[in-house]
Amino acid sequence: MRKLAITCGTILGLGGGLIVACTTPPQRATVGEPPRAGYRLAATPAAPAAAHDRVVFRATDGEAADRAIAASGGRRALTIPALGVTVVTLPDQAVAAAIARIQAIPGVVYAEPDFVAQATARGGTPGRNATPTPTPAPTNAPSPVPTATPDVAPNDVYYPDQYGLAIVSARSAWALTHGAGVRIAILDTGIDQDHPDLAGKIATNVNFTSAPTVDDQYGHGTHVAGIAAAATNNGEGVAGTAYDARLGNYKVLGDSGSGYYSWIAAGITRATDDGATVINMSLSGGSGSSLLLDAVNYAVANGTVVAAAAGNSGNTKAGYPAAYANCIAVAATTSTDAKASFSTYGSWVDVAAPGSGIFSTIPNHANRLGTTNYGSLSGTSMATPFVAGGVALVRAATPSLTAAQARTAVEGGCTRIAGTGTYWVHGRLDVGQAVAYGRSLASSFLAFGP
């Protein structure tokens, strides 16, 4: 497990971000859209790493918070009660000066800019019947490992295009569970509200952005949601990793594909309080943040597993929140079990999962991706929901597992493909082995006690 110091820097160039559209009256949590940032790649002018007029601070009590707001010269834009956090907007855009004044107030724990993150996906094209290369059995699973007969192939029309499900041994996991009784929180650009593979699965819709709807006008969140838990065996579309799990739609990225850290932190705490089994964040920012760290730690302390995209920088530079120890940081691999060229990697990355040319759901209405219904995208954004789906399957198969044990099962069940120990710590996701590992952990606990 890694520990990283909080640092501030510029946002990473992470590839094109994506988003979609839906139609449910949003529960508004803040105002103000982050500046539309060109965080695509370094060839474009550098985009701001943080809002030019927003400051985040944590105070020990309401009186200290009120004094800090007065000292800032701004107005309250958002509160996150679970963290004791307040966000203020400034009339003069003098963020550094406002932070200095706020930090001088007794009872203020920290103050920082409201940094910006973005979706971590790249364009792609559908690839039919991609064949994964054979991979060795994992070498780090406990023994004995329960086994099961693989489930039959689902009847979804595009299942043959979904090589990722074959690589992660989804059918082996499906022989034991389909993910019923758990909830996957998708913190992203929204989820298409009437997509046939998703509409019946959405349990919660909350909009933390300034976008007018919780629906996905970009396409990214819808694609991610389908990988995690699309309706399966319905004779159309695609299959999802944990296809009987419910989805929570927490819109934390605006319709340009970027979002403030405060929106993300509010989404994390709300999803946790709503009882999410696992939080999926297919997004990344280049700046460390006390706020984001607090939010991730809050989720894990309250029994929610957190999975986050490592980023698409193609180097080892840390992305946030994935770099925090309490996140499962996810890199991307190809259909031949090689590291995807765009994937961020390094000793701080925990696991890898298929993330190149992944076929999934796309909004059935006009969106920023330029296509509708179904299609292929690439990115660590696409790898992360395989991991979130894996966590959901583990916890559905063995509900007695704690969040920490579920994470251990997912990481311990990985297959140690080439690059393990260099590009990532544990290996490439295998949900079949993860479910078996989780059952072994439960058996060991019953046999030997705490």
> In whole angstroms, what is the distance from residue 390 CA to residue 396 CA?
10
Q: What angle do CA 267, 389, 297 make, to 5 degrees?
A: 40
Query: What Cα–Cα distance (Å) separates residue 333 from each residue in 55, 132, 376?
Result: 37, 11, 15
Is 440 an annotated catalytic residue? no
Residues with Cβ < 8 Å from 120, sequence gap 6 or more? 14, 15, 17, 282, 283, 284, 309, 311, 312, 319, 379, 380, 381
Measure CA 183 to chain center: 14
Instruction: State the residue for tokens 């796309």.
Output: 362
Beta bridge partners of 86: 57, 79
Catalytic residue among 258, 378, 381, 440: 381
Is 223 an annotated catalytic residue? no
Q: Output Rg (C-alpha) for the chain, integer angstroms.
A: 21
Is 430 an annotated catalytic residue? no
Which of 364, 430, 369, 377 minimizes the C-alpha distance to 127? 377
Catalytic residue among 195, 220, 223, 365: 220
Count how many residues are written for the chain. 450
Catalytic residue among 188, 192, 244, 294: 188
Answer whether 350's CB lies under 8 Å from 427's CB: no
Classify residue 110 by burial, with Cβ atoms within 10 Å: 0-12, 13-18, 19+.
Answer: middle
Q: What angle do CA 328, 414, 130 make, to 5 degrees?
A: 100
Answer whether 38's CB lies under 8 Å from 17's CB: no
* Catalytic positions: 188, 220, 381
